């Protein structure tokens, strides 16, 4: 019995070690300026890191995390082609009732799992900046759980702040916001996943860790100089900033011209969806009516549609396609 306990502990420790190595590799690759497939590598390696972390936890807690069929008193384990026992994938680990992972953290991981499925067989471009908040949340969540579940010191001691060669200024932000060539399948996946979340789930820092950067000058010579200074979330300053951001976010919703809606749908395989079909659809649903919040008329009289309308159009196309 003592030998079995030692063996369980040894396997759990080995899984934990591999988990930490995968997490460190994920961050190191993402911070490497000469690597162009940062997001893809990060998602794959963090998926492995979290899987090993949960396997280590289940091993420690005596939870069976291998696939099997019960035949009487015997467990018949599922095996690979070459005889290895099949272990739970990350999503199965998250969905089991024994999972220790809180819902917002699980949402973050399920987003990355789905994203990995979307990109694993094709090249992607220009997605690093769009997903960095979710990647940051994934890292912070991982460090928190490795400490909580294993009384571990965490891995932040192995990493330092990533230095930049460029400043973060208004011009750079405008450049990022102007990027409209995000692959259609990636844009669709992100939009649909986010739409399924409640406002509280979407705004949770466990799902996406978003930070405001404000230039700050030291008041006195010789004063300690930190690149990033955090303020308490319940401070008057933080509350005021969040109020302003809420207004900006509402007025800066992503908008689409009718032609962009049609192009997006056709790029997703719905070739039958033309500008004429789009016009018929919004008229049938009276989608421009006040209060429906499907779009907005901007200066000059042009009508722009929101993501909420894009989602309805996609559902319409899918239903027509499956008839």
Sign of dihedral through CA atoms 253, 257, 260, 266? positive
Residue 220 lies in a domain: no
| 206-259: pLDDT as tens digits | 998 876 655 555 555 554 455 555 556 666 766 665 655 544 444 446 788 899
SS3 161: coil
How crowded is the C-beta side of 89, counted as CA atoms within 13 Å? 7
In terms of Cα–Cα distance, which of 22, 108, 99 is closest to 65?
A: 99
Domain hosting 292: range is 258-321
Q: Could you tell me if residue 66 is left (phi over 0), alpha (psi between -120 and 50 degrees) or otherwise beta?
A: beta
Given the structure tokens 């549609």, which residue do they identify? 305
Q: What is the pTM of this model?
A: 0.65
| 23-48: pLDDT as tens digits | 999 999 988 888 878 888 899 999 99
Domain end point (choices 137, 169, 203)? 203
Residue 242 lies in a domain: no
CB distance 135 to 49 below 8 Å: no
Residue 223 lies in a domain: no
The answer on 283 and 186 residing in a single domain is: no
The answer on 294 and 159 residing in a single domain is: no
| 46-98: pLDDT as tens digits | 999 999 999 999 999 999 999 999 998 899 999 998 999 999 999 999 999 99
**Whole-number mean pLDDT of the chain?**
80
Residue 68 lies in a domain: yes
> What residues contact residue 104 under an 8 Å CB cut-off, 6+ apart?
201, 204, 206, 207
> What residues contact residue 187 under an 8 Å CB cut-off, 6+ apart?
264
Residue 9 lies in a domain: yes
Alpha-carbon span 131 to 126, nearest angstrom = 10
Residue 116 lies in a domain: yes
Q: Count of domains in the chain?
A: 2
| 268-299: pLDDT as tens digits | 999 999 999 999 999 999 999 877 888 888 75
């Amino acid at each position: 019995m003592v030998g079995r306990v030692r063996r369980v502990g040894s396997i759990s420790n080995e899984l934990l070690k591999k988990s930490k190595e995968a997490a460190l590799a994920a961050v190191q690759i993402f911070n490497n300026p000469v690597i162009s497939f940062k997001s893809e590598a990060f998602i794959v390696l963090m998926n492995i890191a979290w899987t090993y972390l949960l396997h280590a936890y289940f091993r420690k807690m005596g939870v069976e995390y291998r696939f099997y069929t019960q035949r009487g008193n015997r467990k018949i384990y599922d095996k690979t082609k070459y005889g290895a026992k099949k272990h739970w994938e990350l999503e199965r680990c998250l969905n089991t009732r024994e999972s220790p992972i809180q819902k917002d953290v699980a949402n973050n991981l399920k987003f990355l799992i789905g994203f990995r499925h979307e990109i694993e067989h094709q090249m992607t471009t220009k997605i690093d900046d769009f997903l960095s908040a979710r990647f940051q949340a994934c890292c912070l969540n991982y460090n928190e759980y490795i400490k909580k579940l294993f009384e571990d010191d965490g891995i932040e001691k192995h990493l330092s702040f990533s230095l930049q060669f460029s400043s973060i200024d208004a011009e750079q932000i405008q450049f990022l916001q102007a990027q409209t060539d995000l692959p259609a399948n990636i844009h669709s996946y992100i939009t649909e996943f986010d739409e399924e979340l409640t406002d509280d789930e979407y705004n949770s820092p466990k799902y996406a860790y978003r930070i405001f950067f404000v230039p700050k000058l030291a008041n006195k010579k010789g004063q300690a100089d930190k690149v990033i200074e955090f303020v308490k979330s319940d401070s008057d300053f933080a509350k005021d900033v969040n109020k302003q951001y809420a207004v900006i976010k509402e007025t800066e919703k992503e908008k689409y011209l009718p032609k962009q809606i049609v192009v997006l749908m056709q790029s997703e395989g719905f070739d039958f969806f033309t500008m004429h079909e789009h016009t018929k659809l919004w008229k049938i649903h009276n989608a421009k009516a006040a209060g429906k919040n499907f779009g907005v008329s901007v200066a000059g009289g042009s009508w722009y549609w929101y993501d909420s309308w894009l989602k309805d159009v996609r559902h319409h196309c899918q239903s027509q396609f499956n008839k």
